A and B are shown apart, each in its own frame.
Chain A
């Protein structure tokens, strides 16, 4: 069946037409949006799907006997199938809807971590993790007395695999690592790192926030035990994310939050819990958000993913070339295997200053520590400027960034 799928040819100017916000002007200048790594813009199809759902099909799910509720439930559960396909999960029950990737990681820390880790057990993180993949483990450490070890990275921003290997021992119970760095764009050799962790007997959680919009994901091929990503970074609505977990792990884990939908039978003496995935989905979920996520995945899937990847990779190469021509610009993160996320600093010009000038030119970049302070410290920086590209960005966007940076240089000269 999949062989028969007819993909739409990827054409960036047609894609731009699908994203209404890209027609906005900022201070009278066309918007140059280079902050998709923080959150991606939404295609009209997602906006319409959410609006139509509220206008014509909305009701609570998994509860009502009436037609609207049945249809809403069906639409919601359909999206679970789409998610399973998107990451190639073995079964739909392995895909849980959460608020965002952060919540997914916290769920694993609080449910799996509290149950299966004990004092002296070790967790390995990498030096380039987002705070969302650091702090939940520190909270667990406070409670359980586990030990957190950190796999270092090189000056290029690549994980030191030798050091990582040396950290893996029989004490290692879990490895939590990013698939792609949100600051450096480094694509980690996740498959290899997972295999090594498994050899040591450890489980692995992958933070796929930056990977989901850029590269195809196959959780079975990676052999990931847990995988999380956020809907808003794959052109979907905010407030919905996905936690994938291997079935046997999710089955063994206790519920994290209690409430409606996650129960089978409740008495004041004892409550029995619903089966997967409802066991982990307490309370009324972000129904419209999930429906919107489905539309976002459809939007991406209408294209051959390879063509999106090629487009973004072309932009990355072009941008790196243009930025190398800017005086005193230093790239932070020069890994060989890199997604379309570029961090840099401009010598004596503070990222905040540069961001302010670029904003005046209608260019949206991120400046700051990008919720990765340990990584900033690794490079001896307080902040960087980050330009990140989505499928709707063009070489024209890169040119405007380069011109904006030249103007910034001139203003501070």
Chain B
């Protein structure tokens, strides 16, 4: 796997996360690590903190500000944020999964399987409380529309 990819989280890669989760057996430590990951998110642009950028989810709020590059094919990157720490960590994880990818790569990524591997799949259940589920849906919709 080519590791020279876009690393928006201060150098942390998806591989790092997967390896760390394997070492951390305790769920508390895993959540602590996830919270840490959230703290590495680049600052979210305040001007994009609008209703239009908000993702549906009624407990915590999630914001998503997508960009497509001028490359051919275009590469997808995004700013993301949440008011909840754990959700911010999950947003960071989404960034590792999807940022710097082509639409085709995004559509062929099985996010649910990766979260399953990390023991975090409950955050992707289709509940109205769940901003992450809606966020993933929106990223996939954007990729679909731009593909």
Contacts and interface: CB of A to CB of B under 8 A. Distances in A.
B85 interface: yes
B31 A411 contact: yes
A353 B85 contact: yes
A355 to B, nearest CB: 7
A412 B85 contact: yes
B86 A352 contact: yes
B59 A411 contact: no
A411 B129 CA distance: 22
Given A352-B129, A360-B27, A411-B32, A383 B85 contact: no
Nearest to B123: A356
B60 interface: yes
A357 B84 CA distance: 12
A289 interface: no
A368 B86 contact: no
B35 interface: yes
B71 interface: no
A350 B131 CA distance: 14
Interface string B100-129: 000000000000000000000010000001
B58 A368 contact: yes
Contacts of B122: 359
B83 interface: yes
Interface in B17-66: 27-28, 31-32, 35, 58-61
Contacts of B86: 352-353, 356
A51 interface: no
A334 B83 CA distance: 26
A368 to B, nearest CB: 4
Interface of B: 27-28, 31-32, 35, 58-61, 83-87, 122, 129
30 contacts: A27-B27, A350-B60, A350-B83, A350-B84, A350-B87, A351-B59, A351-B60, A352-B60, A352-B86, A352-B87, A353-B60, A353-B86, A353-B87, A356-B86, A357-B31, A367-B59, A368-B58, A368-B59, A368-B129, A369-B58, A369-B59, A382-B61, A382-B83, A383-B59, A383-B60, A407-B28, A411-B28, A411-B31, A411-B32, A411-B35
Given A360-B28, A383-B60, A411-B31, 10 more contacts: A352-B87, A353-B60, A355-B59, A359-B122, A360-B31, A367-B129, A368-B59, A369-B59, A411-B28, A412-B85
